[in-house]
Amino acid sequence: MTSVAIVTGASSGIGAATARRLAAEGFHVLAAARRTERLAELVAGIEAAGGRATAVECDVTSDESVAGLAAAAAAAPGPVTLLVNNAGGARGLDPVESGSVGDWQWMYDVNVLGTLRVTQALLPALEASGAGTIVVVSSTAGFTVYEGGGGYTAAKHAQTAVAGTLRLELCGRPIRVIEIDPGMVKTEEFSLVRFGGDAERAAAVYAGVAEPLVADDVADCIAWCATRPHHVNVDRLVVRPLAQAAQHKVHRAGQ
């Protein structure tokens, strides 16, 4: 029977690439996000390539919406063996002194409470499969802080704490927990969202970096971890582009 994988935040970037990749690996993918027209395009592309996927409208900040995702999982054509908690993002690059409480709230709700809501809703199905995997897409911001990153790093530290705690709590049950921590990934929307649609500020993040990671690189890491034999638990995978030795140490051409 085909295994079912659920990917949140599948309408763009890392989530979309992961949905495509997992479908190519043979999963029936439930692709979840708020923008259904983008999900429809994604599903059409997956099906055109011979894969299987279903679009599910889901806002991870809404209990009701997440209950709908769990219902879609229950109706899916196979055991739910994989959940990729990817929905998330950053808003703002302001110092703690003047950061927007609203931005901090958004980041906490989507990255942390979104992961909590979706995980709670899908845990019974993952456990019932007898071989469940939960992937949490956190960030290098989950273990490092940087100036202006207070809200995002606080949220990602919290998301990392959820992953670590869950692994301890699930020990002895058939569900592994894998944390993926990417550094700089050039996705179409991440920095645009962070800077409220300011394309110039968004482009400056990657300026002079020869080869930042792209969404497919992270999807490759997620797929590799998730397709190891089930007793192999990659606790945490940290992945950065070659040009980024650390959060503060990025090689940029001409500098």
In the set 22, 72, 193, 243, which binds ligand NAP (CB under 6 A)? 193
Annotated active-site residue 152? The verdict is yes
At 181, give phi and psi (nearest 5°): -120, 90
Tell whether residue 189 is a contact of ligand NAP (CB under 6 A).
Answer: yes
3-state secondary structure of 206: coil
Longest dimension (CA), the chain: 54
In the set 69, 184, 209, 225, which binds ligand NAP (CB under 6 A)? 184
Tell whether residue 119 is a contact of ligand NAP (CB under 6 A).
Answer: no
Tell whether residue 13 is a contact of ligand NAP (CB under 6 A).
Answer: yes
Q: Which residues pair with 30 in a beta bridge?
A: 6, 54
Residue 137 or 158: the one with the smaller Cβ distance to ligand NAP is: 137
Among the residues of the chain, which ranges form H helices?
A: 13-24, 36-48, 63-74, 101-107, 114-128, 150-170, 190-194, 199-204, 215-226
Q: Of the listed pieces 80-88, 168-176, 196-204, 225-233, which binds ligand NAP according to CB under 6 A? A: 80-88
Tell whether residue 86 is a contact of ligand NAP (CB under 6 A).
Answer: yes
In the set 4, 15, 30, 80, which binds ligand NAP (CB under 6 A)? 15
Alpha-carbon gap, residue 166 to 8, rounded angstroms: 18
Instruction: Measure CA of the first residue to CA of the last residue in the chain; give whole Å.
Output: 54
Tell whether residue 31 is a contact of ligand NAP (CB under 6 A).
Answer: no
CB of 219 to ligand NAP, least distance (A): 10
Q: Is the dihedral of CA 157, 162, 168, 172 positive or negative?
A: negative
> Which of the residues 108, 146, 152, 206 is marked catalytic?
152
Residues that bind ligand NAP (CB under 6 A): 8-9, 11-15, 33-35, 58-61, 86-89, 110-111, 137, 139, 182, 184-185, 187-190, 193, 215
